[in-house]
Structure formats: structure tokens, C-alpha cells
Structure 1
Amino acid sequence: MRIVITGASGNVGTALLRRLARRGDTPGEKENGSAAGNGDGSSGRHEIVGICRRPPSGGPPYADARWVALDLAGPAVEAALTPVLDGADAVVHLAWGFQPAHDISYLARLGVDGTRAVVNAAQAAGVPHLVHMSSVGAYSPGPDDDRRVDESWPTGGIDSLAYSRQKVAAERVLDEHERAHPDGTAVARLRPALIVQRDSGSALLRYGVPPYVPAALLRHLPLLPVDRELVVPLVHTSDVADAIVRVLEQRATGPFNLAAEPPVTRDLIAAVLHAWPVHLPRTVLHTVADVAWRLRLQPLDPGWIDLAFAVPLLDCGRARRELGWTPAVTADAALAQVVGGMADSAATTSPALRPRSVPAELAAIARGEPITSRRLP
């Protein structure tokens, strides 16, 4: 297959490149080695083209792809994409932005307009299959109990977070495409829980932790002040990559929920951090985060707190039945991995997953370029 991957250097893209490079490359096969990249975009029996704004310089797993530098938020991106997609058997659309969070118009151009450009270019190039990375954040608030919801749950998102609104808007772009082109590019939509792996540690710190906070401090938190009702779904990045490969191999279409068990609670997070859980009502937590956000003291949009308490738990029965997908990593194990990765500032050679350091972040602020507002985070 010739597979084009947007956002191929990021969290999920890195795991997908690793998954595609496995020897034999059969969905569900245990990892028993890796096929060496040829430096020409060939990975095993697949030809991989990676699209991102800042291509990696090389090394595994990035050497297994041929790279095209392209900002999906830029001008005339659809015209630039079409020749890249020509002859592709499938497009995996992973590209998305989380920062600069104070520049919502840029994030909308990247996430919503970028998705429209990818869909239109895929249709124009005659690509038969598109796999779109949606999110649990596209769903409307979940039921009041811990009941899991399947893919029929409404995708209305929450109004207080731009990320959620934009994920919903991207889903509507796909709806429009499917109505206009019933026999055109077929679409699969993956709606995963929070996606984590150890190597995303530095990126998560950069996007969600104040720049003056050392990573190692995570190992020494005495208290975790969070509302006791917090319950969120989570999944390991490698399991999401495995689901993508299964969708590609089976030419599956439609929506698929992806999450691991057990759901992540406040007490589970506290146990992984070796911290004492303290009940802090979500309204108080939101107010504190909102004030710090407006004063530019921390980079996390307070809408993420609203989302954390609104997202539903996911019924993944369709992925299990139709794809044969079962997560290999439990949610508590994935949480422990990513917390360890954050404490160690884990990273890769990709610019998107580069190492995070306090001096570098503070230097950016001194230059007037905090990550929440600088054009290219």
C-alpha cells in the first residue's frame, strides 16, 4: 500500500510508523522485530509518505517515511496536497494542533480547514480510503452515571473548549463529504480516549504545565487537589496505532471508539503520582485555572477541565467485533508510563516530540514567544 500520513511526526504518527515497520506487518501480530527503513519511504511492503510542518531529521522510526513539509493551516494547501496524495491507497489524517492555545483562529485553520483540504484533496486525487483521527472530545457530555456510550452518541462537543468545537466541526466536514460523494473516498473515523505514551512526556509538559515547573517535580507532589468525581477514558498510543493498521488492512469505514480499561479516576492518578488525593471542587479548579490562563501563568485552556468532567466513557464493542481490536496496554499501565515519561522529559528526535527543558521555555518567554501565543510552537 501507498499510505500518506498527515501529522506523521506527532504522538500517534510516531507510533503508527513504528507499527507499520514491524516485521510481517500483520494486524494483531506480536512485535518481534522491526523492518529496517530504506530511507526512500518504504516500510516493509508499504510506501509511507509523511506530511508535517517540521519533518524529522531521520532515525527510527522516521527514516521509514518520505517526508513532505507542509503546514495544513497555510494558504493554497489543498492544491499542494493533491499531487502528494495522487496514487495513494489510503490517507491517515492525524494532523492537529493544541498550541498556540491563545490563537484559536490558527488552530481552527489547522484542524477544521486543514481537514477540509485533506478530504477535498483525497477526493480529487481518487484516494479510496481516508482514516480520520477524531476524538472522544467530539462527543456531547456523557450520561450522569458511568454507563459507556457507543458510536451513536451525539457529537455535539462542549462549547467552552476550542479543541472540542473544532473536533465537532471536523466531523461535520466528513458528514458533508459523505453526503456529496456517496461513492467517493470512503471514511473511517476513530474516536479515541486521551492518547498517551512515554515518549509524549515532553510534549505534554510543554502543552499543559507552566514553563517554570521542572519535570522532576512530578515525582515529589505531596497532594493532588482534584475533584473526586473525575473519571476519564484513556488509551495507549501503540494501541491506537494498531487500530489504524487494522482499519487500513480491512478497509473499514464508519466510527470506532478506542479506549482501555479501567477508566482513570482521581485516586488512580494520585496513586501513580504517590500523592495524597484532596477533593477540590471542579468549579474552584476551573476558576483557578482560568485566572492563571488569562494572566498567561499556565498554558492549559481551562476548557480542558470542563472536557475532563464531561467526556463519556466509551463502549469499544464495535472495534472489538469488526476490527478484532483489543488494547494490549491497560489504562493504569499507560498512565504510569506517561507520568514517568513526563517526569523524565521523555522525547524523540521529532520536532513535535522534542525534549522539553525549563531554560528553553523560559528563554522563549523572554523573547516574547510563550507557547500559548507564538505562531509556531
Structure 2
Amino acid sequence: MRVVVVGATGNVGTAVLAALDRRPEVTSIVGVARRMPARSAEPYSRAQWVSLDIAAATDPDEAVAALTEAFHGADAVIHLAWLIQPDSHRDLLRRVNVEGTRHVVRAVADAGVRTVVVASSVGAYAPSPESGARPESWPTTGIRTSHYSVDKVAQERVLDEFESAVPHVCVTRLRPALIFQGDAGAEIHRYFLGRWAPVHRLGARRPPVLPLPRGLRLQVVHADDVAAAFAAAAVLGRRGAFNICVDEVLGAAELAGIVDHGRFVQLPVAWVRAAVAAGHRAGVIAADAGWLDMAMKAPVMDTSRARAELDWRPRRSAGDTVRELLDGMAAGDGARSVPMRANDRRRIHLPIDRPADSASAGDGEPQASERIEHRLLNLYLSDHLTGASAGAARISRMASDFVDTPVFAALSSIEAEIRAERSFLAQLLDDLGMRQMRHRQAIAVVGERLGRLKGNGRVLARSPMTLLLEAELMRSAVLGKRGVWQTLAENAEDLGLDPSVFHELSARALHQHERLDEVHAYARRTAFREDRAGSRAEGDLRS
């Protein structure tokens, strides 16, 4: 059978690809995503790929038409796509998460697909005043202070309408608990804790006491177990809703035991909520207080139906799943897709099909010959690393600012490549025994931020000219970056390095320049048009 996975590059989607590949009934897998993964890497190499936007910046009829074409010949569609950030842009989240689901099921009907399996959530359920486990019949009215819960409820209503209008399609809803795995460590760090959280220290030191909101109870499930449930649902074609989680409930004592010391303090929920809300407003914490509300109020789920009808059993315990996540966060683990990209620079892969340590010509560290003037090369590479730091900051802000435009996929993919290249260059400096001039990098990043204070004709709204100027700056920066790869290729033999790596990076820079040309073309068409300035207003004077 042929299965299409929409949203196949995130935490669950990555695991689902591997789970489908293990099912003998599945003979063909198609991955659909806005941003393409490294298609030669596992498990992404197991699928054919289609790049499309289900709702963020695409006309609804165009999105449905593109999805219908992607679904042609499929026996089942698994819909996982869900936008978590930026949570401050509710119109964008609602459009992608709720209307995007509507587009997917319309395309399922138009393409004649007989089964659609949709990722709902424990967040769709109403609060439970009692501690007993709740079956799938528990009301799906959600938790109103959580935008995630509100949108999951709206998604459930879309599915209700679809089932009523198109009864011949088998609609399956999986409602998982919190989904963790080690390779999602970096992703969860970015989406929920934010870049200021020092999670890398968890590998060497755990907090002496674990502060938790009073009454917290968590059910979790490993991504591999969730993926197995999605694969089973797609193959078996069972209608209705299924709770997916480990029956074990983790409270304060259990969570404190997982962090190795067992010591915890329970704080009033109102105090914790106020701290999370303040941290989110300050930009220190990525998740808003609604996530805490959902964690505190979501009911415990009963998984009897999934066990009976899907023949599903979790293979990982709740405790082991949380331990794996903590280890993955400390290590900055990830996978070869943009959402799942790693944090730790030694785990980041270059945007070419070889590992980041393959620049060395031998088995050990590269060795520069006596013909190389060490001091001058150190200064040259350090200056390029400074430029790379500023460029990474700029492209990151561009991807964030223009997430609601058709060029987001290109900007986001270029951002991942530039960050990987910057990390590679930093590692190369270390491998060559050279010193990074961190004060220069800090100055460059500050300079990049000050450079955002441009007179683009707007103060309180995002100027339609901003993208045009930013694209022009990034095009120049990418060509400048190409120079360092050409220089390293020319001197690779004297440095004990593999020149082919730098030839490929030089070619990659040209490809980035071509994609930035496409961004610039879009910006040229919209820069001076009030009716095409973008769907979101945002200040141009940014600190």
C-alpha cells in the first residue's frame, strides 16, 4: 500500500517514516513538508518527497490542488503537520493548524483516499476534576487558556464535519500524550524552553532540587511508540479516536527520581504560571503559560481501545522516555531535517552528503605545513567566522520575520545551512589549533542587530521594503562566504584538509545565492505595493 505523510520531518513524522518502513504492507511512502530534509539521510531516504505549503502562505484552492496531486494513488494519508511557533502569531497558527487540516481532508476526498489518520492530542480534552483515567468519549472541549488546546479542539470539529460530509472515508484520530525522544532534544529545547535555557549543563550537573508546580501529573510516550500506532492505524483502517500514551503517570517524586537525586519542592501553580508568563514576555522562555495550563489540567488517558483494536503496546516506559529526552537535550541531539536540526556543533552536519568531520585528510586532526603563516590564517578564518556569526543572526531573523510568506521555506532552509557552515568553520579553527576571536563575533552580532534600525519608511509596522533590503545584504554575504571556501580549497593540501569538501561548499554557496535571488524577486514584486506587503505587521525598529 502507498502511504503519504504530511508533516514528515518533525519529531513524530521522522519516527513515522521508520515505522512505516517496518510494516510489510507498506510498499511506498511519500513525505510532504514545506522544508525538505536531507533526503539521503535515514529515515528520510525511505520516502519520496513533495515540497508544498498546506496553508501558511498559499491560497486555499491552490493548497488543496497541490495536496490532491500529492495524494494521488495513496491508500492512506497520515496528517501530522502542526505549527507550534511563533506562538505570538495566532492568525498564522490557526491558519496552518486548523485550516491546513481542512485542506488536507478536502484533498483526501478529492484524491479518493480511503483512510486518513490525523494527529490530535490529549490537549483536545476537557479538564478532569478527578484522577481516574478517561476514555476517548471524554469531552473534547479543551482548555481555553491554551492556544494549542483551542486549536486542537477546532481541528476536532473540522474532522467531525468531514466525517459527516464524507462518510465513506475512514477517519482515525490519535490523541497522544507528550511525545519525547532523544533526537528531539534540540527541537524541544528551541520550541519550548528557548535558547537561553542552559540545558547543555544537564549532562554534567543536575539541579540540586527540582522545583515543580504543585499537583503536576504527566503522561508521556516515546516517539517510536507513537509512530507505531500511526503506522498500525494507517494499515488497519480503524475509525474513531485512540488515546496513545504510557499508562504510568509521572508526579513530582517520579520526575525528581529521574533527575537522579529524588529531591523536589512543590510550588503554588499561580507562582509558576506567573514566572512562565513573565519569562515568555521577556523572550527568555519560548513557551507561554498556556502550555503549563494544559499540563496541569489535561486528564489522565485510558489506552484500552488502542491496545484492543490497533494491537498497540508501548515498548518504552515513561521514566526511560524522559531520561532519553534529558540526555538528548543535554547533548543537543537532532536529525537531518530543519525542524529536528541538532544544537551541538559536533553533531551538526554540513549541507553536503558527508559528516562534518570529513574535512580532515587523515584519521587524526588536520596538520598545517610550515609553508602556512599560522597567524595570518588564524586572523583570516576568525574574521570570516565573525561574518558568519552576523550572517547567521540575520538569516535567522529573516526566517522568523517572514514565516507567513511564500519565501519562508527557502529562508528557513538557508538558515539551517548557514548555521551548520558557521559551526563547521568554528570547529575547523579548533581542529587547526587556532583561536576564535569571540569579542569580534559578539561585536558583529551586535552590529547586525543595530543594522536592523533602518529607515524603511515605517516605525510601528513591518515595512514591505524590509525583505528587499535584507535579501540584498544576504546575497552579498553569501558571495563573500564563498570566498573562504575557495581559499580553503586552494590551500587544502598545505592544511591537511580534503579540498572536495570546500569545492562542494563553494557550489552550495552559489545555490544559496540562487535561492536568495528568488527571495529578492518576490521582494521586488511586493516592496512598494501596499496590498501585497504581507499578512502580518511588525515593527522595523528592532533592538
Give your verdict on TM over 0.5: yes
Q: Distance in 2 between matches of 1:253 and 1:63?
A: 30
- Say if 1:90 and 1:248, in contact at 8 Å, map to a contact too: yes
Please tell me whether the aligned partners of residues 218 and 273 of structure 1 are also in contact (alpha carbons under 8 angstroms): no
Supply the distance in 2 between the matched residues of 1:374 and 1:228 (Cα, whole angstroms). Answer: 39
Equivalent-residue separation in structure 1 for 2:252 and 2:32 (angstroms): 37
TM-score scaled by structure 2? 0.62
5 Å matches for 1:118-129? 118-129=104-115
For residues 324-346 of structure 1, the C-alpha deviation after alignment (integer angstroms, 9 at most, x for no partner) is 11111111111111111111111
1:85/1:160 Cα in 2 relative to 1: closer, same or farther (>3 Å)?
A: same
Alignment gaps of 5+ in structure 1 = 27-43
The question of 1:87 aligning with 2:77 is answered no
Using the TM superposition, give the Cα deviation of residue 96 of structure 1 relative to its aligned residue in structure 2, in angstroms: 0.5
Structure 1 residues 312 and 117: CA distance shift in structure 2, 3 A: same
Q: Give the superposition deviation at 1:288.
A: 0.8
Q: Is the 8 A contact 1:150 1:257 kept in 2?
A: yes
* Structure 1 range deviating more: 6-15 or 261-270: 261-270
Mapping 1:250-329, distance limit 5 Å: 250-274=236-260, 276-329=263-316
Alignment equivalent of 1:330, drawn from 297, 300, 317: 317
Which of the two has higher C-alpha Rg?
2
TM-score, length-normalised on structure 1?
0.89
Are the structure 2 counterparts of residues 201 and 143 from structure 1 closer, same or farther at C-alpha, using a change threshold of 3 Å?
Answer: same
CA-based RMSD of the aligned residues comes to 2.3
Q: Which amino acid aligns with 1:313?
A: V
- Whose helix proportion is higher, 1 or 2? 2
Paired residues of 1:103 and 1:373 also in contact (CA < 8 A): no
* CA deviation after TM superposition for structure 1 residue 263, in Å: 1.1
The counterpart of 2:200, out of the listed 216, 241, 247, is: 216
Change (3 A) 1:287 1:109: same
Counterpart amino acid of residue 199 in structure 1: D
**2: CA distance, partners of 1:52 / 1:62:** 11
Structure with more of its chain in strand, by fraction: 1
1:249 alignment partner, one of 232, 235, 240: 235
Is the partner of 2:247 in helix, strand or coil?
strand
Match of 2:153 in 1: 168
Matched with 1:180 is 165
Is this contact kept in 2: 1:138–1:156, CA < 8 A? yes
Aligned partner of residue 263 in structure 1, secondary structure: coil
- Matched with 2:21 is 21
Q: Secondary structure at the match of 2:335?
A: coil
Deviation at 1:261, TM superposition (A): 3.0
* C-alpha deviation, 1:117, in angstroms: 0.1
1:270-311 superposed Cα distances (whole Å, 9 cap, x missing partner)? 222235311111110000111111122221111000000001
Number of residue equivalences: 356
Structure 1: 4+ residue segments shifted above 4 A: 357-368, 370-374
Query: Match of 1:180, as an amino acid?
Result: A
1:11 aligned onto 2:11: yes
Give the Cα–Cα distance (whole angstroms) in 1 for the partners of residues 100 and 244 of structure 2: 23
Q: Does 1:69 align with 2:51?
A: yes
Matched, 1:47 2:28: yes
Partner-residue secondary structure (3-state), 2:219: strand
| Paired-residue identity, % | 40
Deviations 1:213-269 (A, max 9, x none): 333223422232112310011111111111112112211110000110311222222
How far did residue 69 of structure 1 move? 0.9
Contact 2:3 2:26 in 1 (8 A): no
In the alignment, the residues of structure 1 paired with residue 186 and residue 94 of structure 2 have an alpha-carbon distance, to the nearest angstrom, of 24
Amino acid at match of 2:233: V
CA drift at 1:350? 1.2
Letter in 2 for 1:298: I
Structure 2 Cα separation of the partners of residues 370 and 157 of structure 1: 34
Per the alignment, do residues 299 and 372 of structure 1 end up closer, same or farther by CA in structure 2, a change over 3 Å counting?
A: farther
The letter of the residue matching 1:17 is L
Where structure 2 has 5 or more consecutive residues not aligned to the other structure, the ranges are 346-385, 413-543
Q: For 1:242 and 1:8, locate their aligned partners in 2 and report how far apart those are by CA, in whole Å.
A: 14
Q: SS at 1:8's partner residue? A: coil
Q: 1:353 to 1:361 in 2, by over 3 A?
A: farther
Report which stretch shifted further, 314-323 or 259-268. Answer: 259-268
1:349 aligns with 2:336: yes
| Contact 2:20/2:26 (8 A) holds in 1 | no
Q: Distance in 2 between matches of 1:63 and 1:177?
A: 33
Is the Cα–Cα contact under 8 Å of residues 67 and 107 in structure 2 kept in the other structure?
yes
Higher relative contact order (CA 8 A, sep 6+): 1
Residue 356 of structure 1 deviates from its aligned partner by: 2.3
For 1:190-205, what aligned pairs fall within 5 Å after superposition?
A: 190-205=174-189
2:185–2:328 Cα contact (<8 Å) kept: yes
AA at the equivalent of 2:201: L
